[in-house]
Every structure is written in structure tokens, then in C-alpha cells.
Amino acid sequence: MTLLLTSLLKFLIFLPLAGFVVSLLIPGKMENAISRVAIFTVGSHLVISLVFLVFWFFNSYPTFETRELILYDTERYKFFISFYLDKITAVYLIVGSFLTFLVTIYCSYYMHRESGYKRFFNTVLFFYVGYNIVIFSGNFETLFIGWEILGITSFLLIGFYRDRFLPVKNALKVFTVFRVADMALILAIWMSHHLWHENITFSKLGDSRAVIEHLQDYPVLGILISLMIVTAAAAKSAQLPFSSWMPRAMEGPTPSSAIFYGSLSVHLGVFLLLRTFPFWEHQTLIVILVFLIGLSTSIIATAISRVQSSVKAQIAYSSVAQIGIIFIEVALGFYDLALIHFAGNAFLRTYQLLVSPSIVSYLIREQFYNFVPRRYIERHATLKKIEYSIYLLSLKEFHLDSCIYVFLWNPIKWFGRKLNFLSGKVGFIFIIVTFFIGVILLYNKQSIPQGIREYLPTIFAFIGLVMVIKSFTERKDIKLSWLLVIMYHIWIASAVSFYENVTMLEIIIYLSGVLVSGIVGYVCLHKLRILEHTIDWNDFQGHVYEHPKLAFVFLLSCLGTMAFPITPSFLGVDLMFTHIETNQVGFALILALSFIVVGLSVVRMYSRVFLGPHIKTYHDIPGRNS
């Protein structure tokens, strides 16, 4: 019976991937074929999920895991794909499969005659691949693969109306917050390797005795890992201080808003907390932190939702408030109640978002025919002043968006503006000179004194960070910006090469996908410059309309350079982090920060060059607030 359950488990994971691949092969004009493939895929997944859960339930709902694929194996490190099933997975599976099936049927009619019909269904199926990888993941590495897929599909669906300014702009904003969650999860994985001295699985993480023993030996490391987990969960579930991305995500089509930010994707922060609960439940400080995050978010998000003029924004903030309450339930140990609450909130928000267009039409009619003016209210009473202050703060969304900019992005942009002297020929000279200096130091590393050599990895990583920040803030030469991203990866590989236990194979694994993607991306930019004569990327160019194939290839190149799990570089990033010791916090933070910025830089390049209103005036140009 266990063998049957394992076989069904594998089928559940790979069925959405098969449907995604088939949908890619269907011509875009064949709407019926595209929708039928999507409906058949998610419908079959729902039926098999029900059969699987019935078998699982009548076999006393055992918790079991399977180790499917070992990608890299050495004496000191093993990278493998692992899948895991327990009660948490079962709830997320049945809710996810039912709602995805429901929304897919809805989309087949709702998206009829949309120019991006195929693109929409491809992205939804790819999202479902990532969702299943996350909920069935048996270790952090497997979870991170699905986590990355969800991030990029969120960007693509929010920016689905790619001829408009606001959807593309807001897609970039949401992606920036998701990169913070990615960074936090990477740091948690890195520290977990040093805490457990192995690739820890979630089944071992549930062993309370082993967890307590390790936390007694490394209490500070345990707190830091938990803080990174909470940060990743808060960013993914739009909890404070990251709540402002949620209404921006509603720029996409209503069905994608329902499946992503009403029901499934936004609850994966809760999933991460539930999955890692045995690890941080013994840390009182973390429990209090999760409780306070949930409490403050539920209060503030409720206040904001009451003053929103957009029905989708109202639903978004209402959902955020409920997720805050779920955070409280998890912190108090009521994980069964949290799972029930998740299911109820997911179904409710999906329903509300799907019927929201009809509700708007009804309310507009009510405003015209049943408007009742408000009575005069004394405005000078103390309670009224407090009420109006809260009202104004809620209208401003408590300045949450500004806080993210002030404390995170503005310092990076400020530092990037200080590097403006590296533009043009000076920038290319800087790349060449620093490259040769780095090669000389690396070649003669054995002759460098030990006291100096131990600081060189951090110095090299900082030079890489400087390059990628310059790439992020570059406004004139897109080829220079692209080359700076490639050079960043070379500097990181060189920095790690100073460690004696690093092998040439690990460097090749890391650089192979990056260099290939970098060359392909550079060729795409060069070809686009030949076709269009110039690439002015101070604003969105919209070249995807006339060069869709070139845009698709460049998007794949961007994913490769940011170490997305389509190239060996995804494994290489994990390998690079394993060589950083716990006393090299500066090196780890620089590497994690640069990992955020490199993703933002390449996605920004893609958005500016290929998305947005077309630069040529003979194409339709929608207004910036359309």
C-alpha cells in the first residue's frame, strides 16, 4: 500500500508539469485546445488527489517521505530532491486542487478572445507546478525550487496586461518583495546546513528531542534561522511590514488574483510556519514575534480595507487581516484551527474575487439611485479627531510602501547613484581592470599571507555587489548593465575559490548556466539594437509586440542569470553558500543582498525593454492609469 501511495504522490507532482509542457506546444489561436488541456490537467489532478487522500486516510493517514533524486553528493554536502506528506500537505493539496480546477474552468470563458489567452494558461499551469512542489517538499531545497517558480509566475500574471504602465510597474514592485523572501529563505538554508551539518529534512525537523539538543548547543544560530523563516513567511503572506504589495498584485486578471492572492500563493507563508513549527515552537522570542506580527497586521489591514475605493483592494486587505489571525493561531499552537481557517479564508476570498466585477456593477447602481448623504458630525471632539487620524493613516495605507522604499530600496539606489562615474567607457574599463586584478590574485593565492587571504573572499564579494548595484541603477547602456551582472557571478565564484575545499566541479556547476544565459542574453540585446537601432530604457519600450520570440529567449536568459531552477546555477548557488562558515556573516549578507539585487536588475531589464506601452506611436498606447 505504501508503494501505491508513493506512486500516486509522484504522479500528483509531475502531472501539472506534463500539462504545462503540452500546453506550450499548442498554437495560441486554438483556445479550445488550450483550455481543455488545462482543465483536463487540473481536473485529473483533483480526481487523483481525492483517490490518493482516500487511500491515505483509510491507511491511518501515515506521515511518510520519499527521496527522489540526488543532484550532488560529497562527503560534506548532499543536495537531493525530497517529497513529504502529512496532514498539512493533505489540506493544502485538496484546497489547492479544487480551487485551481474551479478557477481554470472560470478562466476558459472569462479570458475568451484575450490576446494572451495561451500565455495566461501556460503561466497558471506553471504556477500550479510550483505550488505542488512547495506543499510536497521534504526539505528546504525542494521547497525553494517551488518558491522561485511561484515568484516568477506572480510577476508574469500581475504584468499580464503588458501594454499598460501600472500592471508592469506593480509587477516589479511585488517581485522586489518576493526577492526579500527568497533572500531570507536562502539564509535560513545556509544556517541550517551549519546547525545540522546535513541537508535537513522536514521529517527530522519534527523530532523535538533532536531540535532541543541542537538549539541548546547553538541558541543564537537557532534564533537567526527562525527569524529568517518568519521574514520569508511574512513577505510571502503580505504581513507587516510587507503588506503593501497585496493590492498592487490585483493589477492582473481577476481569476489570477483569486487563485494567487486570494487563496493559494498568499497562504504559503502560513504553510512555511506550519512546516517549521517544531523548530521554532521552543523559542519564546520567535513565538511572541509571530504573534505580534499577526496581531498588528490584522488590526492595521482591517483599518485599511475599510477605506479602499477598489473592491479588489478591499478583499486583498481583508484576506491579509485574516492571515494575520492565522499567524496568531499558529503562534499559539492551534495548527488544526489554522488549517481550517486557511481553507475557509481561501474559499471565501476566491468566491469574492470571482464575483467582484458583478458586485461593482451592482454597487454603482445603488450609488446612483439610493444615495443617502451623511448627517453633520461634530468634528472637534477628541474621539472624532482620533478617528479621522486613523482614517487618514488608513487612506495612506500607514505609509507601508514608503517604509519599504526608505529602509531598503532608497539606500541601494543612493549607493548606485554614487557609482554613476562607472558609466560608458569608464564602466567597461573598470570591468576589465578589476577582472585582471582578480585573476592575478586568485592565481597567486598561495603566496598571499594568510592574514590578508582570509579577507579576500569578502572583498571579492563586495566588488561583485558593487557591480550588481551599478547594474541595477544603470540608465544609459543596457549592454554594460548586462555585462555587470555576468561579472558579478564571476567575482562570486572567484571569492569562493579562495577556500581550499572548493572543487573546480562546483565552480563549473555554478558558472555554467550563468555564462550560457549571459551570452544568449547579450546576443538578444545586440540583435534588438540592430533591429531597432537604439535601446533607450529610461522608460518602458514594449518591444515584445514586434519581437515576441526575442523577448521569450531574453526572459529565459534573465532566469538563467538569476539562478532560477532551469540551469545548474541553481544548485551552484547552494554550493557557494555551503562553503561560507558561520563566523563569516559579512560575506553571507553581502552574497544574500547581491542575490536580491541581481534578480531585480535582470527582471527590470526585461520589463523596461520588452514590456509596457510601445515606444512607437503607431501602436495603441493606453493611459498610465488605465
pLDDT at 215 over 60: yes
Residue at 545 is within a domain: yes
Residue 398 or 551, more confident: 551
Q: Do 403 and 180 meet the contact criterion of CB atoms below 8 Å apart?
A: no
Q: Which of 364, 398, 427 is the last residue of a domain?
A: 364
Residue 183 and residue 83 share a domain: yes
Residue 502 and residue 601 share a domain: yes
Average pLDDT over residues 59-74: 77
Residue at 373 is within a domain: no
Residue at 623 is within a domain: no
Residue 435 and residue 341 share a domain: no
Q: Do 87 and 60 meet the contact criterion of CB atoms below 8 Å apart?
A: no
Residue 460 and residue 555 share a domain: yes
Residue at 569 is within a domain: yes
Q: What is the band of 406 on the pLDDT scale with cuts at 50, 70, 90?
A: confident
Point out which residues pair with 233 in neighbouring strands: none
Q: Which of 322, 348, 364 is the last residue of a domain?
A: 364
The predicted-structure confidence for 567-607, as pLDDT tens digits, reads as follows: 888 888 887 887 777 777 788 888 888 888 888 889 888 98
Residue at 438 is within a domain: yes
Residue 468 and residue 332 share a domain: no
Residue 435 and residue 551 share a domain: yes
For 270-282, give one letter per residue: b (16+ CB within 10 A) or e.
Answer: bbbbbbbbbbbbe
Residue 193 and residue 52 share a domain: yes
The predicted-structure confidence for 496-539, as pLDDT tens digits, reads as follows: 887 777 788 888 888 888 889 999 999 998 898 888 877 777 77
Mean pLDDT of the chain: 83
**pLDDT at 399 (0 to 100):** 75
The predicted-structure confidence for 166-188, as pLDDT tens digits, reads as follows: 888 888 888 888 888 888 888 88
pTM given for the model: 0.90
Q: What is the count of structural domains for the chain? A: 2
Residue at 181 is within a domain: yes
Q: What is the band of 288 on the pLDDT scale with cuts at 50, 70, 90?
A: very high
What is the percentage of the chain residues whose pLDDT exceeds 90?
14
Average pLDDT over residues 378-406: 75
Residue 42 and residue 179 share a domain: yes
Average pLDDT over residues 213-219: 78
Residue 324 and residue 249 share a domain: yes
Smallest CA-to-CA distance from 509 within 74, 66, 17, 13 is with 74
Residue 359 and residue 433 share a domain: no
Q: What are the residue ranges of helices labelled H in 59-138?
A: 87-110, 117-136
C-alpha angle 570-22-46 in degrees, rounded to nearest 5: 90
Residue 127 and residue 34 share a domain: yes
Instruction: Give the C-alpha separation, 488 to 372, whole Å.
Output: 62
Range of the domain at 549: 418-610
Other Cβ atoms less than 10 A from the Cβ of 565: the count is 20
**pLDDT at 273 (0 to 100):** 92
pLDDT at 2 over 70: no
Residue 62 or 227, more confident: 227
Which range among 175-179, 372-376, 396-400 shows the weakest confidence by mean pLDDT?
372-376
Q: What is the band of 330 on the pLDDT scale with cuts at 50, 70, 90?
A: very high
For 188-202, give one letter per residue: b (16+ CB within 10 A) or e.
Answer: bbbbbbbbbeebbbb
Average pLDDT over residues 355-366: 66
Looking from the CA of 521 toward its CB, the CA atoms found within 13 Å total 30
Residue 171 and residue 286 share a domain: yes
Residue at 379 is within a domain: no
> In 311-351, at which residue ranges do the beta strands (DSSP E only) sit?
none
pLDDT at 624 over 60: no
Residue at 391 is within a domain: no
Q: What is the band of 366 on the pLDDT scale with cuts at 50, 70, 90?
A: low
